[in-house]
Chains A and B, each alone.
Chain A
Amino acid sequence: MTPRLGLGLRPPMYQQARLGEIRVDWFELISENFMVPGGQPLAVLEDVRRHYPIAFHGVSMNLGGTDPLDGGYLGELKHLADSFEPLFVSDHLCWTRHRGQHLHDLLPLPYAEEVVDHVARRIETVQEVLGRKILIENLSSYVKFDWGDMPEWEFLAEVASRADCLILLDVNNIVVSAWNHGFDAESYVGAIPRERVAQHHVAGHSSTGRLKIDTHDHPASAAVIALYAEARRRFGPRPVCLERDDNIPGTEELLAELKAITQVSAATEPCA
């Protein structure tokens, strides 16, 4: 049976997770945090994997960059994936590095036809190296470029189709970007091909008034919960992961939040 409810594993949870004490179906781990020679991170990973299915979620693959793909990075990721058999390996539809400098942020792309080709080719290369399909995640973004006239959802769907990869649909990111760029979040969800969506993220964000910022430091908002219900209705049950990176409460509180989000949506039936 496919595991359903997941949490983003963060250091405050390590001790409990190593003992299998957190009542969750699976954990999502930040890949780069475990690309180390040895020591405590790998010991944590081994213990957690003994108790739970896991997924590797990366932040530095640089799929939308113009620097060559980093063979060393991909080799390390393949080694991790081959060693720990994750449910998914995912990263973001963005760029993170330029001229050798890592910016450690998920930076936006122009939604242009030429960029679809560029990114899809890089995803194909990654999938060949890893020997598996990856999931690409939609971003929260704060700027939009004049270059290209595709809506974001069309860009995401087209990249996934041409690269033959899967989608990690982050409903919080849709809510954030919909506010910042003035599009309709439900239309976005409605335009994503069902068969490509393999996982969801839910999380909280902050509002500055004019912009929403993807901070992962609050519980998911009502808008995120409602959009997740819509996504669940459209895509059916998919593994869902609650992300929290700041102001992290105890795991019981996180689990209660995750259950509340999924219970709201459980009543909605998938489309025929």
Chain B
Amino acid sequence: MSATRLGELQDAFCDFVVHGRSAPALETQLRSRGAGDSELQLDVYRNAYFIRLEKALAHDFPLSAKLLGPQSFARLAAEYVLAYPSRHPSLRYLGHALPGWLGEHTGVATGDLAAIEWAAMQVLDGCDREPVDSGRLEGIAPADWPRLALALMPTLSLLEISSNADRVWLSGAEGHELVETKRRRIAVSRGAECRPCLTELSSETFLVLEAVSRTNCLADASDEVAKTAVSASLPEQIATAIHVAFAHGWVTGVGPRQVAE
């Protein structure tokens, strides 16, 4: 065999379930109880596949699903799972690319709302870390600042949005129409009992924190931010961003690069 024969059978089964491709190779291997039975039996699996995955996405993106409407969301979900088949044992991760995909297929504002919903999931079940306070900075010698590492909360998401998706999210999609706006920056972070908190950020603070979250190093982040056009002076911009991060409890580690988390 057997692994080969079983693999071929699973190839054909998968092809039918996911793509609905007529599978004579599969149907000849089924034991029907009557005419048309094998088609009916296989359809149970095909229907269940799409219903289950759509339901998982609707669970994880409830406001996006609500605003798009059940029929439209079901159609989009079916297209999405064809474009991004599940690669993880848990359905929890199925929607990882949905915000960008919805942004492309339904408009920026819907993508923004989905991005907030995805960030809220990270808040719910992301890594637990305790915040540190800004007192940690006091013991750091001036010579160590260039290689200072700052670790931010793994559950913190920094998002650029071009809509009022944050307000729509906060209202539970009641009383706000989702519309495009000028570009704004927000942070989605973990609050009490793993609830998501939304904080609007200045573009300067966003740039610094975004660079810190990518590089983990203040000097590298400064170099990156220095390449962008900013209105405030760079040291002031960095100091403000660090202050905001500590004030909101988003910093989990401070120290020379090799010892920070």
- On A, residues with C-beta under 8 Å from B are 32-33, 35-43, 60, 64-66, 70, 73, 95, 97-105, 107, 109-110, 112, 114-115, 117-118, 142-147, 180-182, 210-211, 213
Most buried by B among A33, A39, A99, A213: A39
Report the minimum CB–CB distance from A168 to chain B (whole Å). Answer: 19
In the complex, the answer to whether A211 meets B125 with C-beta atoms within 8 Å is no
Q: Is A182 a contact of B89 with CB atoms below 8 Å?
A: no
Given the complex of chains A and B, what is the CA–CA distance between A36 and B123 in angstroms?
12
Residue of A nearest to B28 (CB): A146
**Are A104 and B49 in contact, with the CB atoms below 8 A?**
yes
Does A40 contact B9, Cβ atoms closer than 8 Å? no
Residues of chain B within 8 A (CB-CB) of A40 are 124-125, 193-194
Q: Which residue of A36, A103, A144 has the most chain B CB atoms within 10 A of its CB atom?
A: A103
Q: Is B224 an interface residue (CB 8 A)?
A: no
B58: Cβ under 8 A from any A Cβ:
no
A35–B190 CA distance with the chains assembled, in angstroms: 19
Given A35-B90, A101-B18, 14 more pairs with CB closer than 8 A? A33-B90, A36-B125, A37-B127, A40-B125, A66-B7, A70-B89, A103-B17, A103-B49, A104-B49, A105-B17, A107-B45, A112-B1, A115-B6, A118-B2
Closest to B87 in A: A100
One of B2, B49, B90, B125 near A115 (C-beta < 8 A): B2
Cβ of B1 and Cβ of A37 under 8 Å apart? no
**B41: CB under 8 A from chain A?**
yes
Q: Is B105 an interface residue (CB 8 A)?
A: no
Q: Which of B114-135 contact A (CB under 8 A)?
A: 123-128
The reply to whether A105 and B10 contact each other, CB–CB distance below 8 Å, is no
A210 B31 Cβ-Cβ under 8 A: no
Please measure, in the bound complex, the distance between the C-alpha atom of A99 and the C-alpha atom of B155, giving whole angstroms: 31
Which 6 pairs across A and B sit closest by C-beta, in order of nearness? A114-B2, A60-B89, A38-B128, A114-B1, A36-B125, A66-B7
Q: For B126, list chain A residues within 8 Å (CB).
A: 36-39
| 24 chain-A/chain-B pairs, Cβ below 8 angstroms | A32-B91, A32-B92, A36-B126, A38-B125, A39-B125, A39-B127, A64-B6, A97-B89, A98-B14, A101-B14, A101-B18, A102-B89, A103-B86, A104-B49, A104-B91, A107-B13, A107-B17, A114-B5, A143-B30, A144-B31, A145-B30, A181-B33, A182-B33, A211-B40
| B interface, size bucket | 35 or more
Please state if A143 and B41 are interface contacts (CB–CB under 8 Å): yes
* C-alpha gap A112/B31 in the complex (Å): 14
* B11 close to A (CB within 8 Å): yes
Residues of B close to A99: CB separation below 8 A: 11, 14
The answer on a CB contact under 8 Å between B49 and A118 is no
- Contact yes or no, B88 A65, CB < 8 A: no
Q: Which of B32-60 contact A (CB under 8 A)?
A: 33, 37-38, 40-42, 44-45, 48-49, 52-53, 56
A115 vs B90: C-alpha distance when bound (angstroms): 26
Q: Is the CB of B6 within 8 A of A102?
A: no
Contacts of A107 in B (CB 8 A): 10, 13, 17, 45
Judge if B232 is at the interface, Cβ distance under 8 Å: no
Q: Which residues of B contact A142 (CB under 8 A)?
A: 41-42, 44-45
Chain B contacts of A65 at CB under 8 A? 10
**CA of A103 to CA of B155 in the docked complex: distance in angstroms?**
28
In the complex, whether B3 has a CB less than 8 A from a CB of chain A is: yes
Contact pick for A95, options B10, B44, B125, CB 8 Å: B10
Say whether B29 faces chain A, with CB atoms less than 8 Å apart: yes
Chain A CB within 8 A of B70 CB: no
Whether B1 contacts A118 by the Cβ 8 Å rule is yes
The docked-state distance in angstroms from the alpha carbon of A100 to that of B6 is 16
Chain A residues within 8 Å of B37, by CB:
210
B100: interface (CB < 8 Å): no
Whether A211 contacts B44 by the Cβ 8 Å rule is yes
Q: Is the CB of A144 within 8 A of B30?
A: yes
Point out which of A98, A100, A143, A144 has the most chain B C-beta atoms below 10 A from its C-beta.
A143
